[in-house]
């Protein structure tokens, strides 16, 4: 295994950072490790407004935690009201661009006004703390406005990504027992209207418990409305008041339920509560993004995923940031849309996914090079491990070698970031999440729960509870216990494989089921994929294990290429040899399949599960509700049949 490059932060960045140098990081980490309750209590007291203080920082009855027990607070108040008595009152909170090009800049004062008005509408319709709402909207400011209005009253919300089908929407409404749906007529993507209301209508045919469907007019297209159930947002707003105080809620009051993508059978609703979650995301905004008052911060995720909840809405607004939202596709109308946005708004922090980075690499360096990206001072990555070649490109082409890159590891279940380099403190290694956040105690163990050695692959677990942690699976405490807490008793089982190097840096290798066993060698799909994309011809790769009667599993690679004229036969041989050279002969792929696109969820994650089904059964039978483009799978399955 070659020694990875190390990128320390610049002296200038360290000098201005919230956490300065490795000593700064280690001091913080050791304080949290030695006395976690005092540590988190101090952060909660400093960063969050509480109506009533807690009696105990943590009550831990594994696997159930209560953080800041007995305290009362309100998320909407923390994200909005408390800023209004400070100079942030007139600072832009949400800076939005629609795909057709419209712009809105909502100050904290204006956002507060809109949230209060919508909360008063919900209150007048009889909704109160403990009720449940489904929010199914495009990436427009009214999405966070709806979320913050729900949190103002204690209505438990579940945001369903606007690309989900009526069937997926119905399953979530039913599982949550929602009585309210907040939606829009549609949104825009790649120049086309994506209608949302028809999916709501179809879903609600089998959801008699829903009393109201509130519809925001975004596109203005003809939208059938069912009398007695469907209500236009703008018409309700005419009767709204601007007197709707934030309700003090228990620290453990459920804040939101987020259904994880790619589930089969019954959807799995991940439950997060109020006080601990808000403390965690507010602290990590500062630690990971080194957030400054003057930053213009852009997380490119969709709010339908946990990244959007934690790092577009709740974390940035609680921290008083200017958070950028963009409605549409990164390549519309041209491949430089993102770079235009960064140049136009002088964005200083960009937080995006490895999938997006790889897609941008494929389009060519001429697009970012045509724009002034000098406002950027920090880059981030989220969603899956970033392969070193993509990291190096991101660093060189987008950051011009002067922006630290924070490669963040966390999950829907963890609420916020758990492993990432503090940018002014921890030197980065391309492909590594580096070191854990203060208060986070990860370990890497074998199947029996024993710690494995340096550079040995094992299962990533968390030894201690943390404030942003999952509090349960909605309506299914047994599934919560079984899935996360029984594999290594007393520890949270992440489901990810990882290794730790001699410097204590963590290298997350992907899901446990993304590990192949080839002739007795445990081989991470991530490792093979990283080797493939280091080849100059390869844009993106997905690797799965294929059943093999001799070796147990064989390595099967799906590869998309950069623009160019290639002989597939010749390149296939070259890539097999390349992987053998990079990793070892045992990792040599059995087959390389060239494809124009890989199957991805709408959040951009490669669905290796579907690729495994194709190479194993020649067909796809599992859940495809989260798939962005079904035709990709159809073509790959047809390719298999032709062989």
Per-residue DSSP letters for 27-46? Answer: HHHHHHHH-HHHHHHHHHHH
In a domain, 475, yes or no: no
Grade residue 528 by pLDDT with cuts at 50, 70 and 90. confident
CA angle 546, 548, 550 (to 5 degrees): 155
Q: Which pLDDT belongs to residue 610? A: 85
133 and 59 in one domain?
A: yes
Q: Which pLDDT belongs to residue 641? A: 46
Q: Which pLDDT belongs to residue 580? A: 85
149 and 193 in one domain?
A: yes
Among the ranges given (129-143, 349-363, 455-469), the one the predictor scored with the smallest mean pLDDT:
349-363
C-alpha closest to that of 396 among 92, 20, 7, 45: 7
Rounded Cα distance, 584 and 576, in Å = 11
In a domain, 245, yes or no: yes
Average pLDDT value for residue range 69-74: 98
**216 is written with which tokens?**
């925001």
In a domain, 173, yes or no: yes
315 and 334 in one domain?
A: no
- CATH classification at residue 96: 3.40.50.12780
- CATH classification at residue 590: 3.30.300.30
In a domain, 13, yes or no: no
Rounded Cα distance, 266 and 263, in Å = 7
In a domain, 466, yes or no: no
Q: How far is CA 255 from the centre of its chain?
A: 17
Helix (H, G, I), strand (E, B) or coil at 596: coil
**Residue-wise DSSP of 98-125:** -TTS-EEEEEHHHHHHHHHHHHHHHHHT
Q: Bigger pLDDT: 359 or 129?
A: 129
Grade residue 622 by pLDDT with cuts at 50, 70 and 90. low
Rounded Cα distance, 222 and 287, in Å = 47
Per-residue pLDDT at 640 exceeds 60: no
In a domain, 81, yes or no: yes
94 and 217 in one domain?
A: yes
C-alpha closest to that of 613 among 546, 565, 563, 558: 546
Non-local CB neighbours of 436 within 8 Å, separated by 6+ positions: 29, 418, 419, 442, 506
Q: In what order do the strands lie in the sheet with 132-136?
A: 230-232, 212-216, 180-184, 132-136, 156-159, 254-259, 269-273, 472-473
355 and 220 in one domain?
A: no
Q: Which pLDDT belongs to residue 602? A: 67
365 and 279 in one domain?
A: no
126 and 209 in one domain?
A: yes
Share of residues in the chain with pLDDT > 90 (%):
77
- Cβ atoms of residues 239 and 124 within 8 Å: yes
Angle formed by the axes of helices 166-176 and 197-204, to 10°?
50
C-alpha closest to that of 352 among 381, 375, 386, 323: 381
C-alpha closest to that of 321 among 344, 351, 365: 351
- Cβ atoms of residues 122 and 155 within 8 Å: yes
In a domain, 443, yes or no: no
User: How many C-beta neighbours within 10 Å does residue 120 have?
Assistant: 21
pLDDT single digits (tens) 590-605: 999 999 888 887 667 7
CA angle 450, 452, 456 (to 5 degrees): 155
C-alpha closest to that of 19 among 7, 29, 34: 29
Provide Rg for the chain, Cα atoms.
24
304 and 341 in one domain?
A: no
Residue ending a domain, among 365, 400, 435, is 400
What ranges in 215-265 are assigned the alpha helix state H? Answer: 233-237
C-alpha closest to that of 39 among 426, 369, 470, 438: 438
**Residue-wise DSSP of 47-76:** HS--SB--SEEEEEETTEEEEEET-EE-HH
Residue ending a domain, among 370, 400, 430, is 400
User: What single-letter DSSP state applies at residue 567?
Assistant: -
252 and 224 in one domain?
A: yes
In a domain, 156, yes or no: yes
User: Could you tell me the residue range of the domain that residue 164 belongs to?
Assistant: 44-292+300-319
User: How long, in residues, is the chain?
Assistant: 643
Peptide bond preceding 523: is omega within 30 degrees of 0, i.e. cis?
Answer: no
pLDDT single digits (tens) 464-495: 999 999 999 999 999 999 999 998 989 999 99
Q: Which pLDDT belongs to residue 583? A: 77
pLDDT single digits (tens) 81-126: 999 999 999 999 999 999 999 999 999 999 999 999 999 999 999 9
Non-local CB neighbours of 482 within 8 Å, separated by 6+ positions: none
User: How many C-beta neighbours within 10 Å does residue 307 have?
Assistant: 25
pTM, to two decimals: 0.85
346 and 257 in one domain?
A: no
- Cβ atoms of residues 418 and 462 within 8 Å: yes
CA angle 92, 96, 99 (to 5 degrees): 165
Among the ranges given (32-36, 59-63, 235-239, 577-581), the one the predictor scored with the smallest mean pLDDT:
577-581
Residue ending a domain, among 284, 319, 354, is 319
- Cβ atoms of residues 429 and 500 within 8 Å: no
67 and 207 in one domain?
A: yes
Grade residue 563 by pLDDT with cuts at 50, 70 and 90. confident
Q: Which uninterrupted H or E stretch holds 530?
A: helix 525-533
Number of domains in the chain: 3
Rounded Cα distance, 451 and 436, in Å = 17
Rounded to the nearest integer, the mean pLDDT of the chain is 92
275 and 341 in one domain?
A: no
Grade residue 358 by pLDDT with cuts at 50, 70 and 90. confident
- CATH classification at residue 378: 3.40.50.980
């Amino acid at each position: 295994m070659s020694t990875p490059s190390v990128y320390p932060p610049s002296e200038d960045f360290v000098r201005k950072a919230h956490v300065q140098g490795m000593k700064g990081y280690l001091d913080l980490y050791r304080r949290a490790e030695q006395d976690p309750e005092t540590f988190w209590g101090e952060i909660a007291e400093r960063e969050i407004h509480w109506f009533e203080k807690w009696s105990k920082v943590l009550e831990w009855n594994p696997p159930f935690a209560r953080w800041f027990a007995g305290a009362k607070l309100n998320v909407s108040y923390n994200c909005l009201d408390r800023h209004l008595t400070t100079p942030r009152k007139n600072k832009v909170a949400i800076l939005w661009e629609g795909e057709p090009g419209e712009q809105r800049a909502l100050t904290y004062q204006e956002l507060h006004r809109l949230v209060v008005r919508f909360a008063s509408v919900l209150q007048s319709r009889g909704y109160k703390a403990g009720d449940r709402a489904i929010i199914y909207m495009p990436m427009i400011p009214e999405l966070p406005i709806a979320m913050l209005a729900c949190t103002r009253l204690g209505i438990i919300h579940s945001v369903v990504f606007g690309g989900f089908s009526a069937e997926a929407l119905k399953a979530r409404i039913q599982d949550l027992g929602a009585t309210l749906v907040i939606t829009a007529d549609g949104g825009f993507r790649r120049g086309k209207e994506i209608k949302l209301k028809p999916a709501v209508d179809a879903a609600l045919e089998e959801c008699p418990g829903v009393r109201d469907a509130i519809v925001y007019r975004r596109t203005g297209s003809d939208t059938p409305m069912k009398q007695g159930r469907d209500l236009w947002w703008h018409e309700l707003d005419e009767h709204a008041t601007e007197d709707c105080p934030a309700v003090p809620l228990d620290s453990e009051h459920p804040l939101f339920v987020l259904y994880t993508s790619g589930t089969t059978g019954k959807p799995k609703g991940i439950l997060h509560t109020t006080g601990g979650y808000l403390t965690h995301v507010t602290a990590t905004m500062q630690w990971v993004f080194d957030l400054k008052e003057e930053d213009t911060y852009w997380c490119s995720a969709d709010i339908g995923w946990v990244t959007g909840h934690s790092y577009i809405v709740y974390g940035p607004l609680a921290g008083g940031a200017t958070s950028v939202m963009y409605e549409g596709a990164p390549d519309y109308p041209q491949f430089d849309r993102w770079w235009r946005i960064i140049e136009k708004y002088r964005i200083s922090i960009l937080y995006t996914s490895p999938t997006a980075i790889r897609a941008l690499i494929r389009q060519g360096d001429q697009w970012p090079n045509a724009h002034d990206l000098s406002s950027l001072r920090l880059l981030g990555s989220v969603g899956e491990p970033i392969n070193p070649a993509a990291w190096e490109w991101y660093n060189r082409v987008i950051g011009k070698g002067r922006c630290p890159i924070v490669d963040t590891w966390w999950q829907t279940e963890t609420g916020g970031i758990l492993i990432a380099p503090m940018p002014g403190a921890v030197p980065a290694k391309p492909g590594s999440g580096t070191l854990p956040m203060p208060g986070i105690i990860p370990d890497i163990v074998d199947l029996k729960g024993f710690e494995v050695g340096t550079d040995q692959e094992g299962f990533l677990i968390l030894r201690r509870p943390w404030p942003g942690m999952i509090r349960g699976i909605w309506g299914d405490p047994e599934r919560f216990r079984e899935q996360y807490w029984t594999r290594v008793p007393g520890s949270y089982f992440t489901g990810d494989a990882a290794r730790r190097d001699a410097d204590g840096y963590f290298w997350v290798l992907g899901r446990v089921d993304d590990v192949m066993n080839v002739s007795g060698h445990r081989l991470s799909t991530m490792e093979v994929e990283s080797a493939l994309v280091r080849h100059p011809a390869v844009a993106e790769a997905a690797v799965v294990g294929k059943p093999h009667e001799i070796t147990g599993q064989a390595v099967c690679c799906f590869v998309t290429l950069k623009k160019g004229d290639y002989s597939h036969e010749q390149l296939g041989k070259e890539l097999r040899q390349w992987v053998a050279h990079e990793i070892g002969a045992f990792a040599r792929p059995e087959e390389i399949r060239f494809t124009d696109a890989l199957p991805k969820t709408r959040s951009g994650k490669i669905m290796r599960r579907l690729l495994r089904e194709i190479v194993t059964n020649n067909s796809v039978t599992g859940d495809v509700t989260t798939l962005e483009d079904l035709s990709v799978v159809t073509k790959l399955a047809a390719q298999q049949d032709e062989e």
